[in-house]
Structure 1
Amino acid sequence: MTTRPAHVGSLLRAAPPDRLPEVAAEHLRTTLPAVTGMEIFLSDLTMTSLWPVIDPEGAPGGRLEQRVFGSQLPLADAASGQVLLPLTVWGDRLGVLRVELDQPAAPDLVEHLTGPADELAVALRAAEKDTDRYHQVSRRQRLTMAAELQWALLPGRSLGGERFKLAGQLEPAYAMYGDHYDWALTGDRLTLTVLNGHGDGIEAALLTTIAVNAMRNARRSGANIVEQAELASDAVYSRYGGASHVSTLLLEIDLTDGAVEAVDAGSPRALIAHEGDIRTVHLEQQLPLGMFGDGRYETQKFQLEPGDRLLVVSDGVHAATPAGRPEYGTSALLSALRRTRLQPPAEAVGTVMRALRDYHADVEPEDDAVIVCLDWLR
């Protein structure tokens, strides 16, 4: 009786969290004789480069790996005998899997490798909580303590569904202050939050941690965004007595029709782009969270139409004035947003962030920056 080889998903679930690459490589070599090698490339924190896991001293991902990471489409390179596949979980781009062969890659082999790549991506995402190996690959320098707190708090880098695509980026990656974003998908509701914490360094990170966890606590108890804002405001005020606050924009998007409820508690700003036209979402600002005790908030509403792109930015983006230049949000932000028209959100946030860096030129940013981009597809 012939014993069938174990499914790669079963092998990965049984493997130690730090040995997933080696287990996946051994499985491919055993089940596909044409396979001669494998490497996993993970994105760095700035989403600008890809770094090897199995051979950490090896060369970073090159043009082909970057192409697959950006397009999210598998690629068979006949010249080099390689197959490259995106490693993505629920729209969150982790990196790229490179499989080396001793023969040209046939189309059916590319299709066959898609399943193991997807299983490996899910396993890598789950293993991040139990090993530092993959974090060490993604970090190209040491994080400040504030940045360590902020990265541990983030939900992910991107998220996708049938009706929407979503991505966020936070910089500077290795030395953050108090800016942050959060999101959660439950049924037909997508909750999105962008925060700009008062102060800098670890104190700002601790302030943001209190606010984010208070909102999560309320949200996970079934509270709406008004109750989330009020609980977070009370939590911040009880800790700081009004000396520190968190400017916050909370959005709850109905994924059945694109209706949006918003609580605008401060400085994050929202814009909607549609077929080249860009407009600001005008909301009445209420007091930042934690400024006063017993703070109360109200919702406002706006509507997303099919094909709309919603961009939410912190004041480190829209209010940036490097070397006395006009605010970035006055016109430069609009120009950068227009250049993203044909890009998915995961690429668009990088384009806008790079344009912000160029706007600063040689001037060190005075604040950190958050950009969140949502495409409403339905």
Structure 2
Amino acid sequence: MPKRSDDGLAGLLDAVEAAPPVAAVDVFERRLGEQVGAERVSFLLTDFAGQALVRLTHPGAGGPGTERAEQVSLDDETLPYGRTVIEQRLRVLPAPGDGRPAGAVRVLAPVTARGDAIGLLELLLPQPPGEDALALVAAAAHALAYVVTTERRHTDLYEWSRRGDPVSLAGEIQRQLLPNAFTCEAGQFTLAAWLEPASTVGGDTFDYALDADRLYVSMTDAMGHDTAAALLATLAVGSLRNGRRAGHDLGRMAGAANRALVEHHDGLGFVTGLLLSVDLVTGGVDAVDAGHPPPLLVRDGEVRAVPLEPDLPMGVLAGTGYRVQRFRLRPGDRLVLLTDGMVERSARRVDLPGLLVRHRDTHPRQLMRVLTAAVQEAAGGEPLADDATALCLDWAGPGDDRRAEAGASVTGGP
């Protein structure tokens, strides 16, 4: 059969570009199905809880919530969907169900951008695809990650599909404070984070940003619950981002956030925070601890807290100064940041150091599921009393001769 001029990845992307944002994935699925001869192509999006895949669907005529999207659980990691998300590799399997022709197959391809597991592409084909078709499916799934990342700026379709239950106002505010991607893979590091919300939002946030030679990471925990905590968190995160984008050092960033919180809340609300700036060449880390639990370092099969001296939380006292302390990462180190919801109340029953040692080779993205599942189990199925938030940074080093410079021991102090 002669190849059409609009076949291939370029044809897919041209068709998407010509479609309205709300129809981009529909057009992508239809065009890819035509190119590889699939009877069905569908995109399954990871839900907000990270526990299921949701088959992308449009809201009904009555608006969001009038249709329930099909969900596929990720709890059983031995099943094809869960294995594909974990292993991040394309799988060709027998097609499910009766009445299909002999030899019919199902293809599952991870839709991932820089380690952020956005979902899966699923194709049903009447016969096993050839190598060229599989190569196109793999490339198309990778391209779809960037299509979704771009198109969700223009429509709420992806938000509708990912949400299982209605979100409170505080929850809405909290989500808008988080980065768009919870995982980032770069040459020197892999980072993943997760926030398991309490029954009433507890004001936790995390953030990160990458520039040419530094990685910035922050974790904050605002006092209180619900909208009041969300508003405190908004002021703190907004101030920290503003300082970071202005090129300020960590001490100045924390001082500005402290002044903003004191000015607008009269010392009646505070935010704990841990701010890190990682030098991507040396592995040197600048750190500010504003009354927050210290990070945990996993090194050589052992877990210990990084010895940082805490300053006051932001918002407690006008004029508070914040010390920039320093330590250094070695290639192979894992750094884990936590809020108190991961270590207090029912979460105290979790053997956190033991989990980190047992799962020291687990990808950070999967480690987030391990940690949050352990906290939920410790809560005995009851709603969490406080947000439980974690962030994992795996440090690989710069990948050149300068890597040897990153071998010094961790030290505390200013």
- Fold shared per TM-score above 0.5: yes
Equivalent residue in structure 1 for 2:360, among 322, 341, 352: 341
| Aligned counterparts, 1:198-217, within 5 A | 198-217=223-242
- Identity, in percent, stands at 32
Equivalent residue in structure 2 for 1:228, among 223, 241, 253: 253
Cα distance in 1 between the residues matched to 2:323 and 2:14: 49
Structure 1 residue 347 displacement after superposition: 0.3
Cα distance in 2 between the residues matched to 1:117 and 1:151: 26
Cα distance in 2 between the residues matched to 1:211 and 1:22: 39
SS at match of 2:355: helix
Which structure has the larger Rg?
Answer: 2
1:50 and 2:53 matched = yes
Tell me if structure 2 keeps the 8 A contact 1:147–1:174: no
Structure 1 residue 338 displacement after superposition: 2.0
Equivalent residue in structure 1 for 2:317, among 292, 296, 301: 292
1:26 and 2:30 matched = yes
1:356 and 2:375 matched = yes
1:39 and 2:42 matched = yes
Tell me if structure 2 keeps the 8 A contact 1:273–1:309: yes
Q: Give the paired residue count.
A: 371
1:376 and 2:400 matched = no
- CA shift digits 1:77-110 (9 cap, x unpaired): 2555121111112221111111221111334322
Tell me if structure 2 keeps the 8 A contact 1:146–1:177: no
Cα RMSD of the aligned pairs, angstroms, is 2.1
Are residues 198 and 104 of structure 1, via their aligned partners in 2, closer, same or farther at CA, if it must alter by over 3 Å? same
| Aligned counterparts, 1:304-319, within 5 A | 304-318=329-343
Instruction: Point out the more displaced range, 209-218 or 275-284.
Output: 275-284
1:132 and 2:156 matched = yes
Partner of 1:281: 306
Calculate the TM-score normalised by the size of structure 1.
0.93
Tell me if structure 2 keeps the 8 A contact 1:40–1:54: no
Equivalent residue in structure 2 for 1:123, among 147, 153, 169: 147
Structure 1 residue 173 displacement after superposition: 7.1
Partner of 1:14: 18
1:60 and 2:72 matched = yes
Structure 1 residue 240 displacement after superposition: 0.4
Cα distance in 2 between the residues matched to 1:11 and 1:232: 46
Tell me if structure 2 keeps the 8 A contact 1:196–1:268: no
Q: Which amino acid aligns with 1:149?
A: I
Cα distance in 1 between the residues matched to 2:199 and 2:384: 13
Tell me if structure 2 keeps the 8 A contact 1:194–1:268: no
SS at match of 1:60: strand
Structure 1 residue 3 displacement after superposition: 6.7
Unaligned segments of structure 1, at least 5 residues:
none
Are residues 230 and 14 of structure 1, via their aligned partners in 2, closer, same or farther at CA, if it must alter by over 3 Å? farther
- CA shift digits 1:255-313 (9 cap, x unpaired): 11211110000123310112421111110000111111122211001111111111000
Unaligned segments of structure 2, at least 5 residues:
59-67, 96-103, 398-414
- CA shift digits 1:106-140 (9 cap, x unpaired): 34322221221122111111222221111111111
| Aligned counterparts, 1:314-329, within 5 A | 314-318=339-343, 320-322=344-346, 327-328=348-349
